[in-house]
Amino acid sequence: MRSLRSWGIGDLADLEQLALLAGNDLGAGFLVVNPLHASSGVEPIDPSPYLPASRRYPDPAHLRIEATHEYAYAPPAMRRDIDALGEDLRKAGPAGDLIDRDAVWEAKISALRLLYALPAAERGPGRDADFRAFLRREGEPLRTHATWLTIVARHGRDESTWPKGLSDPRSPQTRAWQGAEAAEIAFHCWLQWLLEEQFSAAKSACERARMPYGIIHDLAIGAQADGADVWADSEVYAHGVTVGAPPDEFNQSGQNWASRPWRPDKLAETGYSSYRRILAGTLRHAHGLRIDHVMGLFRLWWIPEGKSADQGTYVSYDHDAMLGVLTLEAHRSGALLIGEDLGTVEPWVRTTLASRGILGTSVLWFERDNEGRPLHAARWRTDALATVTTHDLPPTAAVLAGESLDATDWLEQLRREGLLRRGAGESETVDALHRYLAWTPARLVGVYLPDAVGDRRPHNLPGTDAEAYPNWRYPLADGTGAPVLLEDFARNPRVRSLARALRILG
């Protein structure tokens, strides 16, 4: 979701505006966003939000430059220079091109360096004091994260090419590096402080719009094997293996997600401190949290390096401890929890999650009875987020066009229930599918944004690489491929029709 003001990719100011629009004009009760975790900042930046460099800290690429205090009070000549950096990206926004994260980050970090170079006095005494308090509060973990960013910016992400000692965050060589690069490390800490402000503004927008749930952030299943989290807490990660999934009906060769798993024994020995810090950092910005692949709290498919995904094995975790830490941190934050419990999940796991107050995930295409027929609305779970589809499946418009899943039996179910007339068009059918969700007892009913505007392009095809498919690089567009910007979203006829279908717009 981009706007006329964002630099080629949606940012936190767009999220704030979307919250106000969705809550006030469309009656929405919550927004679920994909992970906003930190990237490495080194090109090429991985476009997948589910393979970040760090899950503890967010990505400065999501900052709105013009929303910073420093931009507002910068000298006019500097503001003109910054505006010029973003001009081409803003022009490219409505053109429908693929999202170019490398170009976005190059422009944004250049602008942010200009602003950071302003004297501290330009921030004002209170603002400067707030930044220093933020540094004290975040302490050594933030400094360690910023240190990794400075190292990879200079030497790349391959640790084998780094100067001796830098592979250990606590080595004398790393301490010396921190002294020599203190200014650059402080710059990356400053970026996190700016993110804190803009995340807070987005969260407050949900509250002003009187959303009962607000922003629900997403916690990825893991981070990059050579990323900041693994470097900072190397002893709690299992080296020589990556995480994935065994073969199933959708991926017959299995999947390798290229993230490094935690060692269950080291997690326990360290009091789950790494896990707790990640949860606390994400929940600080959220009203709720979606746990991607929630089965990862119970077991993970470990794949030895050099082996194919079907040659892995399951490794179990102390799920009582993992769930206990999760629910404790959520309780402290007053946050709602949703587990993505799709795929092969034993019934006792769903029962265990429900007993802890963690909602499940119900996707219409997969909700079937024991005979494989569409599950009647009255028999759906109460403790769940119900949606028609997910970001890992084709949008509903593509399904209805016969491009992937067979929706025939579901359309017949809608007709039997009197929700869909024969000969109905695509938009009317999408409305009927969501109206069916509203009939279920599910606590939350969600709308995938591409479904709201008729986008037909899958935004992610699991198991494909950058050469095969541009995963996570399509901006929001309608069925004709024309971009749908934030300024047009709430006025879009399909969006308003769908809101009426869900009985949240009169």
The rounded distance, in Å, linking the Cα atoms of 377 and 366 is: 13
DSSP string, 111-176: HHHHHHTS-GGGG-HHHHHHHHHHHHHHHHHHHHHHHHHHHHHHH-S-GGGSPTTTTSTTSHHHHH
Is residue 168 domain-resident? yes
DSSP state letters, 57-109: EE-GGG--GGGSHHHHTS-HHHHHHHHHHHHHHHHHGGGTPPP-HHHHHHHHH
Domain that holds residue 159: 1-12+45-211
Does residue 28 belong to any structural domain of this protein? no
pLDDT of residue 120: 77
Token readout for 368 is 């079937």
For residues 31 and 120, give the distance between their C-alpha atoms in angstroms, rounded to a whole number.
Answer: 36
Residues 6+ apart with CB under 8 A from 312: 244, 246, 254, 301, 302, 303, 304
Residues forming beta bridges with residue 259, ordered by sequence position:
224, 243
The number of domains in the chain is 1
Report the pLDDT value the prediction gives residue 504, as an integer from 0 to 100: 60
Inside any domain, residue 3: yes
* Contact residues for 357 (Cβ-Cβ < 8 A; gap 6+): 327, 337
Give the span between the Cα atoms of 151 and 360, in whole angstroms: 40
Q: Is the peptide bond before 44 cis (omega within 30 degrees of 0)?
A: yes
Considering the domain boundaries, does residue 240 fall inside one? no
pLDDT value at residue 506: 42
Coil vs helix vs strand at 233: coil
Please give the Cα distance from 270 to 284 (Å, whole number).
22
Enumerate residues 6+ apart whose C-beta is below 8 A from 176: none
Report pLDDT for 48. 94
In a domain, 269, yes or no: no
Which of 262, 266, 270 is closest to 237 using CA atoms? 262
Give residue 165's identity as a one-letter amino acid code: G
- pLDDT score at 10: 95
The reported pLDDT for the residue numbered 466 is 83
Q: Which residues of the chain have pLDDT under 50?
A: 505-506
**126 belongs to a structural domain:** yes
**105 is a domain residue:** yes
Q: What pLDDT score does 268 carry?
A: 97
Burial of 401 (0-12, 13-18, 19+ CB in 10 A): middle
**3-class secondary structure, 329:** helix
Q: Please check whether residue 204 lies inside any domain of the structure.
A: yes
What is the spatial distance between Cα 192 and Cα 186, in angstroms, rounded to a whole number?
A: 10
Buried b (16+ CB within 10 A) or exposed e, 349-362: bbebbbeeebbbbb
